[in-house]
């Protein structure tokens, strides 16, 4: 059973270049049974914090320079749902990145939003490389009914959006900006990393503590910035809807430990930064594999570009796993992603570099470049026929992938991770996307949203 397999993993030498950010290291939490309680007197209530939980919220807000910070035990998913519902009325118009996490899509669906997308630039290796400010300007000009903007920054791969400019544009029109910074809880603690989205003046910022900091899975925080255009009353109303009525005290204890770590162990971020710098420097010696952080990218996300080797990203992930016992966070057609945190050890970085050096040596002796893998247009503009929420409510039927061209999608289809949808409900399905999904299947990538290899389509 799963519990036994987890124990085996804990006892093995497999090294986690993936979430959670504690990297399977004990950070002082006791036996979980001993501290797993319900709302008994003296231990406060997450849904009406007045004592110890309020104190933790205040210390969290102090660390991130927020006006108020709500602790979450349902991940950034809970924070994103709450933020969208708080910022927009039912049937409001939302401007959101096409690369948004599914929780943002789900919020827009349930809020019955009219959705306008910004489309990111996609680089040579099929990775999202940020969105130009012109995308936002144009969308705001053409759609004067936009009531809220959602930006993902950093992205899964660590790309940072031009938040200062986006916030200035939005606030000039009285529109709130929500930043899904699920991958950015570690920002703002050392100058080697990009600045925190709160510094750019975003109204609401959601961060998963568990992704990049030493905290248990599902721990997160929703920050309300000074001068936020979204009211705290709205946020509290929807937190009550989306957060469990039995919040785990084990998870809340883990959040408290994370707060203490951030207060007391600031120097650890400097050590982490110099390990990363050293790693990137050594990687300059690799010939075929490219490992360099992009300008403006969070260097904590190590993108391993194998587009000039005989390997696909997925094959690289398999070799690192099977031969070197190094577990990546994800892989795509032409790259793998190693997710690091302040808890990574020197030994972890050395093992990753030595493995890449060996693979690179083999790559140099082999033929390169599989042209069908590179430069894929992963996130092209979709042709919207109806709103997402309308498509979800229509009668659906199943359709084989190869016969889906021209039909209207009624399910969201994504290569996972990162889970950014290639097709969303309400869009017409084109051959380009079908070809890409077939290729992804051939390469063994995980695809979500296909039923028995087919699609749900609306009649
Ligand atoms: C960009 C982004 N936003 C939100 C989430 C959801 O975060 P959580 O797992 O904490 O609910 C994820 C999860 O991977 C994500 O990648």
How confident is the model over 256-289, as pLDDT tens digits? 999 999 999 999 999 999 999 999 999 999 999 9
Q: Which two tokens stand for residue 381?
A: 């503009």
Which residues, in sequence order, are CB contacts of 224 under 8 Å at separation 6+? Answer: 66, 67, 68, 69, 70, 203, 204, 230, 232, 235
**Confidence at residue 377, expressed as pLDDT on a 0 to 100 scale:** 52
Residue (of 48, 9, 69, 416) closest to 219 by Cα position: 69
Contact 156 CB / ligand 1 (< 6 Å):
yes
Q: What distance in angstroms lies between residue 136's CA and the mean position of ligand 1's atoms?
A: 23
For a ligand 1 pocket test, name from 102, 211, 416 the mutation site with the most ligand atoms within 8 angstroms of its C-beta.
211
Q: Which two tokens stand for residue 278?
A: 């050293």
Name 151's bridge partners: 179
Name 336's bridge partners: 304, 331
Is the pLDDT reported for residue 369 higher than 80? Answer: no
Contact 228 CB / ligand 1 (< 6 Å):
no
Q: Which two tokens stand for residue 91?
A: 């049937």
Dist CA 300 CA 160 (whole Å): 12
Instruction: Give the mean pLDDT of 73-84.
Output: 98
Q: What distance in angstroms lies between residue 205's CA and the mean position of ligand 1's atoms?
A: 13
Contact 75 CB / ligand 1 (< 6 Å):
yes
Contact 187 CB / ligand 1 (< 6 Å):
no
Is the pLDDT reported for residue 363 higher than 50? Answer: yes
Instruction: Give the mean pLDDT of 129-145.
Output: 95
Name 49's bridge partners: none
**Confidence at residue 368, expressed as pLDDT on a 0 to 100 scale:** 66
From the CB of residue 428, how many other CB atoms can be counted at a distance below 10 Å? Answer: 18
Domains of the chain: 2-20+272-364 (3.90.1150.150), 32-264 (3.40.640.10), 383-458 (3.90.100.10)
Residue identifier of the C-alpha nearest atom 10 of ligand 1: 75
Percent of the chain with pLDDT over 70: 97
Q: What distance in angstroms lies between residue 101's CA and the mean position of ligand 1's atoms?
A: 6
Q: Which of 303-307, 313-317, 434-438 has the lowest mean pLDDT?
A: 434-438
Is the pLDDT reported for residue 375 higher than 50? Answer: no
Average pLDDT of every residue of the chain: 93
Is the pLDDT reported for residue 374 higher than 60? Answer: no
Instruction: Give the mean pLDDT of 56-79.
Output: 98
């Amino acid at each position: 059973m799963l519990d036994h397999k987890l124990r085996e993993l804990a006892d093995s030498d497999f090294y986690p270049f993936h979430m959670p950010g504690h990297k399977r290291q004990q950070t002082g939490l006791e036996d979980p049974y001993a501290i797993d309680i319900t709302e008994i007197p003296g231990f406060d209530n997450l849904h009406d914090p007045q004592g110890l939980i309020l104190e933790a919220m205040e210390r969290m807000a102090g660390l991130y320079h927020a006006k108020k910070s709500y602790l979450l035990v349902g991940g950034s998913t809970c924070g994103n749902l709450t933020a969208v519902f708080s910022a927009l009325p039912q049937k409001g118009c939302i401007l959101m990145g096409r690369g948004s996490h599914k929780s943002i899509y789900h919020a827009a669906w349930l809020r019955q939003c009219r959705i306008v997308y910004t489309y990111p630039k996609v680089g040579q290796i099929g990775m999202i490389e940020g969105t130009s400010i012109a995308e936002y300007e144009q969308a705001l000009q053409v759609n004067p009914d936009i009531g809220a903007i959602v930006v993902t920054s950093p992205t899964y791969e660590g790309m940072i959006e031009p938040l200062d400019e986006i916030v200035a544009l939005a606030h000039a029109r009285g529109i709130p900006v929500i930043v899904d910074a699920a991958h950015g809880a570690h920002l703002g603690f050392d100058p080697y990393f990009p600045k925190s989205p709160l510094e750019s003046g975003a109204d609401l910022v959601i961060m998963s503590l568990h992704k990049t900091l030493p905290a248990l899975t599902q721990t997160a925080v929703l920050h309300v910035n000074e001068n936020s255009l979204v009211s705290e009353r709205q946020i509290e109303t929807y937190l009550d809807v989306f957060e469990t009525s039995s919040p785990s005290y084990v998870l809340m204890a883990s959040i408290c430990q994370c707060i203490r770590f951030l207060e007391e162990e600031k120097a650890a971020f400097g050590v982490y930064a110099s390990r990363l710098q050293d790693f990137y420097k050594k990687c300059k010696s690799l010939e075929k594999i490219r490992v360099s952080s992009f300008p403006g990218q969070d260097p904590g996300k190590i993108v391993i570009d194998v587009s000039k080797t005989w390997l696909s990203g997925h094959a690289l992930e398999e070799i690192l796993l099977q031969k070197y016992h190094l577990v990546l966070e994800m892989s795509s057609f032409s790259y793998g992603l190693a997710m690091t945190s302040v808890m990574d050890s020197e030994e972890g970085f050395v093992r990753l570099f030595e493995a890449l050096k060996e693979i690179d040596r083999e790559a140099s002796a082999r033929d390169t470049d599989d042209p069908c893998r590179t430069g894929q247009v992963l996130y092209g503009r979709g042709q919207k026929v109806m709103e997402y929420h309308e498509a979800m409510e229509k009668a659906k039927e199943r359709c084989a992938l190869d016969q889906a061209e021209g039909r209207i999608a009624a399910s969201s289809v994504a290569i996972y991770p990162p889970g950014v949808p290639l097709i969303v409900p309400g869009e017409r399905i084109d051959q380009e996307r079908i070809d890409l999904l077939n290729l992804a299947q051939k390469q063994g990538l995980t695809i979500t949203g296909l039923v028995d290899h087919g699609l749900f389509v609306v009649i």
